[in-house]
Structure 1
Amino acid sequence: MPIPPGDYQLGPDNAALLLHTGTEGPAAAMGHNLSIDATQWSADLTVGDALSECALSVTANLTSLVVIDGQGGAKPLTDGDRGKILQNAAKILQTGDHPQVVFTSTGISGDWTEGTVHGTLSLHGRTEPLDLHLDSPEPGCYRLAGAIAQHLFGIQPYSALMGTLKLADEIGIEVTIPFE
């Protein structure tokens, strides 16, 4: 079921923006695959009569990230680990200089159950094209999903243990929007 035409404001009160990380390298099993919540973000969604007439703009504050889950790893994820992860992320992302990430759609193709939102992502002082997959995993819910390649934005992924444990270059992004 398509979203009725109109202008919508989205954010953490009525939708979710999650990041998903993975690990790589010989010591990858020692690291955690993380789910990270952006707790301060907003989106302006304009829905037209046709999907091609829709527009989306999202701004997220990178200093508002919260680690909500960590799968795998040599030991269970602690609150101390969560704090250290966020400190490392702030350093690598240089959030003092680049506190926001912005996505702006440039076009949308497909339909409400299977489409693509084409756009640009501004992160870490650079702007690059980014396509997000649109689907409806269940009635009344829409999801945008894609991946951000850190190297395209001049970001060197976190590494430890002399480079044998690395954060994967691609960070998954998922926005879930319930519409009833």
Structure 2
Amino acid sequence: MTAQTWNLDQSDGELRIRTGVEGRAAKMGHRLTIAVNSWHAAVEWSDGEPSGVTLAAEVDSLEVLSGEGGVTPLTGPEKALARSNALKVLNAKRFPRIEFETSDIEKTGNGYRLTGTLQINGKTREQAVDLTVQEVDDVWRMSCEATVRHSDFGLKPYSMLMGSMKVADAVTVAFTAKRNNR
């Protein structure tokens, strides 16, 4: 079997970030859902199995979609402010991309375990991701969730009210995509 590459981007699926809120005044804050609107993944195939995966996300493409909780509903200007704060926290001007690259892919009962390096803010850490794959009518439906900590990458979560309300250190990154398997 010959080698091939699958190229995926935001037209094939979604990359989302979900944040939490910590601190004494946490009930005042919103748990955000943030879209990454520009990303690209490449899946290298060899002998019918994935042999390498890379994913690059453009930090400047972040968009705050919604906020749960809080004292009042999240408004448009508050979404814009949250986006601006996220770009500052992620040091987007200096490090415009977040990148993941596998060093190992292991088949599991319902998909693959992707182990590799995640680079955020110029810092690289090991990251494992369990990718679930469902094949229906020659279409692969892929999904995964992973926890990423600000502190692992030298980032200080946004805070206000002298630290009594801040974005939780751990955020959840969720990925879903579909691809014809021809």
TM-score normalised according to structure 2 size: 0.89
Matches within 5 A, 1:86-165: 86-111=83-108, 113-136=110-133, 139=136, 140-165=140-165
SS at match of 1:70: strand
Q: State the shift of 1:125 in Å.
A: 1.1
* Cα gap change, 1:116 to 1:75, in 2 (>3 Å): same
Instruction: Give the Cα separation in 1 of the matches to 2:93 and 2:28.
Output: 29
Instruction: Give deviations 1:42-78, integer Å, cap 9, x for gaps.
Output: 1111233464x42110111101100112111111011
Instruction: Give the Cα separation in 2 of the matches to 1:23 and 1:33.
Output: 6
SS at match of 1:142: strand
* Cα gap change, 1:112 to 1:80, in 2 (>3 Å): farther
Contact 2:12/2:179 (<8 A) preserved: no
Contact 1:28/1:164 (<8 A) preserved: yes
Contact 2:18/2:173 (<8 A) preserved: yes
Contact 1:112/1:134 (<8 A) preserved: no
SS at match of 1:148: strand
Residue matched to 1:168:
168
Segment of structure 1 superposing worse, 132-141 or 101-110: 132-141
- The one-letter code sitting in structure 2 at the alignment partner of 1:39 is N
Residue matched to 2:82:
85
Residue matched to 2:10:
12
Contact 2:101/2:116 (<8 A) preserved: yes
The count of residues paired between Structure 1 and Structure 2 equals 175
Residue matched to 2:72:
75
Q: State the shift of 1:114 in Å.
A: 4.4
* Cα gap change, 1:26 to 1:50, in 2 (>3 Å): farther
Q: Percent identity?
A: 30
Instruction: Give the Cα separation in 2 of the matches to 1:12 and 1:112.
Output: 27
* Cα gap change, 1:94 to 1:125, in 2 (>3 Å): same
In structure 2, stretches of 5+ residues that fail to align are none
Q: State the shift of 1:178 in Å.
A: 1.5
Runs of 4+ in 1 over 2 A off after TM superposition: 47-51, 136-140
Instruction: Give the Cα separation in 1 of the matches to 2:176 and 2:17.
Output: 12
Instruction: Give the Cα separation in 2 of the matches to 1:137 and 1:67.
Output: 29
Q: Pick the structure with more strand per residue.
A: 2
